[in-house]
Amino acid sequence: MLTLNPMNSSFNKLLTIKILIVVLMFSIFSNNFLFIERVNALSDSKQLVLDAWTLVNEGFYDPEKFDEINWKRIRQKTLQKQIETSEEVYSAIEDMLRPLEDPYTRVLRPKDYELLKSSNFGSEINGVGLQLGEDDDSKKIKVISTLGGSPAEEGGIVRGDFIEKVDGIPSEDLGLANTASKLRGRSGTKVIVEISSEAGEIREFDLERRSVDLRPVRTKRLREDSHTLGYLRITQFSESVPKKVEEALQELKEKEVEGLILDLRNNSGGLVSSGIAVADSLLSERPVVETKNRNGIKDAIISQKETSFDGPMVTLVNRGTASASEILAGSLQDNGRSILMGEKTYGKGLIQSLKSLGEDSGVAITVASYLTPKGNNIQGQGMTPDKLLELPDASEYGSSDDKWVRNAELYLESILEKEEVAIQTSEANNEEFKI
């Protein structure tokens, strides 16, 4: 009779387990190797798509959104598409970013990328002179403001109008970034813009693009009775603005102005660093702004001790006041440095970082949100003025028929008169004490 040795059975089981482990390890290694090979074998076009995904994945301010939309699965599905031409690259990235539901995180084609860089560093841009945003309720492309002396202003487009079509293409198909891009172009070329008013009236404009001088800083002296006031208007925050503001404030100080009207109406923002630098000129060792990124709230940025002007102020804001100008307005209001007068501001409180993508394109990524020194969130909320003004806009800001400026003048005069009375009372009390 043949007797089976139990040791052989145990040995066989152990051998089987070892073989399975080896096979499994080989399988994992092979799959990883094949995956690495596939990644390395990506075409240049698909590599750009992957680079865009990686930049957004590393910088986007709300990583919880990634889990909500299955962000990694979106990458996988996108890379499975046929992507060969540059246009297919940009379209694929746009499709990939759309589920984030953030109009400010976007791919920038070469022309848009160059124009965005030049608008931040220069003082002029070729286009029709419209500053655009997305309406919170309708999601339509809305005119935040028109630039003074621009084709859009001369044609009659006003703040609050909606862009329906550009050269026959619906703006809802283009999206915010592409609508703005199609409005820009070579000086002398034309673009047909279909506009709807807030009341629903449809109008069509045939506009000729040209170089629009942004003149970001404008100033003048205002004489009112026995007081001399300064008027300072900032139309956008480009790189050169802080220095220009310093020069303007120095000029006003030499003219012995006692109070300042800071006009931020229809200033749709620009470089956040420039807005913070201007706040630094007006605040002494005070918090300017806090930021909330994917890692939480960062410590507030504190202004330096020295200021360029420390007299009483009024800051004018309206629905076209957005982004970096809201940061400045919020810092002045929360620190009690200036009252805000006018309308509730636009409410754009998101910070974008501009990253290069390849040699001549880029991607803008929302990396953080703004909080005022008191912790108020600007995004979707805006800044509420201390004094609301229900007055029509002037045809020219800062002109003699600008009733908003007139209201600011009256307020500053009352403040200065109270200070004079307080000084006189103090001097009288000192005289009595000497007796």
pLDDT tens by residue, 58-72: 999 999 999 999 999
Helix extents (H) in 167-221: 171-183
Yes or no: say if 343 and 317 are a contact pair by the CB < 8 Å rule: yes
303, 323, 361, 369: the active-site residue? 323
Residue intervals in the chain for CATH 2.30.42.10: 125-213
144-198 pLDDT tens trace: 778 777 899 889 998 889 999 999 999 988 877 678 778 887 788 899 999 999 8
Q: How far apart are CA 287 and CA 284, in angstroms?
A: 9
Q: Is 348 a catalytic residue?
A: yes
Burial 84-108 (b: 16+ CB within 10 A, else e): eeeeebbebbbebbeebebbbbbbb
Give the CATH number of domain 125-213. Answer: 2.30.42.10
How high is the mean pLDDT of the chain? 84
161, 263, 280, 334: the active-site residue? 334
**Whole-model pTM?**
0.71
27-39 pLDDT tens trace: 544 444 444 434 4
Half-sphere exposure of residue 400: CA atoms within 13 angstroms, side-chain side: 2
> Exposed (0-12), middle (13-18) or buried (19+): which is 110, by Cβ within 10 Å?
middle
Give the CATH number of domain 217-353+365-418. Answer: 3.90.226.10
Range with the lowest mean pLDDT among 129-133, 272-276, 293-297? 129-133
Q: Is 18 a catalytic residue?
A: no
142, 182, 292, 348: the active-site residue? 348
